Amino acid sequence: MKKTVFLFPGQGSQSVGMGEDLYREYDFVRELFDMASDMAKMDLARLCFKGPMEELTQTVNLQPAVTAVNLACLAAVRKERVDPDALAGHSLGEYAALFSAGVISAADAFHLVHKRGELMHRESMRTTGAMHAILKLDIDCVQELVKEGQRLGIVSVANHNTEQQIVITGQPEAVEAVSSLAIEKGGRSIPLKVSGAWHSELIRGAEEEFQNELASIEFRVPTRRVVFNVTADEETDPEQIRVLMARQLCSPVRWYDSMCRLVEAGSETFVELGPGTVLTGMLRKILPRDFPERIYNVSDMKTLEKFFHDNL
């Protein structure tokens, strides 16, 4: 296969029914769901396949649920011995990337995302937060507007997803002010349906406790290249990876820079493994126009079979 990157989605990619046909098809997928359900102390298969969406979307439930589907899609691809040259995950998806690279075990991945979900949920209950997507403006412009908005309260960049799709996060009044400034500059603002101000100072209270959780887990040297959200760069030192995963909670997700780095490194085939098509949609906006487009999403049996048909 051509130089291949596996990408793993995070919160916002969920849908009721996700992973169900893979669960019915493969014993190893059922085993993954059982492991995740035991760790999270909930029936994740029922939640993923039947919903309701409101319950599925609660971050404490969603993080282990999306991770279970991400790892199920990965396992389905791996059964044909397809392995990537490089890996990246969007926020929560970074834990599936770490497992895929051999840095942490599946059990530890589920343990960490369950704890991460609990801590983020706790912090969101303590403070009211908001997130808006800002479109049609570049990162330098949005950073300037954020700087102005910080006079009114906590606000920062949460995600730099594409060149002109940037998510801001923080206290509602400050987020609204930055959105208004963005509209004045010719941008668009879309409020996001989230239960907290993710990747902001408002959830800083979770960081120290999560650091302690990370310290209890064995981190190993990656077997594949991993590009990390916090730095948009690779890292091979297990202790530095542990530090990056702690910083990731409150730091911006530098997705645009990460994808540009992978393209510059010669990556030719991109495969989103998990529910939805959020990452492949963003990738099509990032890749150069003359890029020989080889983009796949593997989220169910139909998309899995297409990927195998085209690549094996």
- Identify which of 131, 155, 127 has the alpha carbon closest to the alpha carbon of residue 143: 155
The letter for the amino acid at 280 is T
Among residues 13, 91, 258, 299, which one is catalytic? 91
Catalytic annotation present for 156: no
- CB-CB contact of 164 with 136 (8 Å): yes
Among residues 199, 251, 258, 299, which one is catalytic? 199
Residue 264 C-alpha from the chain's centroid? 21
Quickly list DSSP for 22-45.
HHHH-HHHHHHHHHHHHHHTS-HH
Catalytic annotation present for 91: yes
Residue 10: both structure tokens together: 């995070």
Sheet order of strands, 155-162 included = 155-162, 165-170, 130-135, 188-191
From residue 36, alpha-carbon distances to 90, 138, 190, 306 in Å are 20, 39, 33, 27
Residues annotated catalytic, as ranges: 91, 199
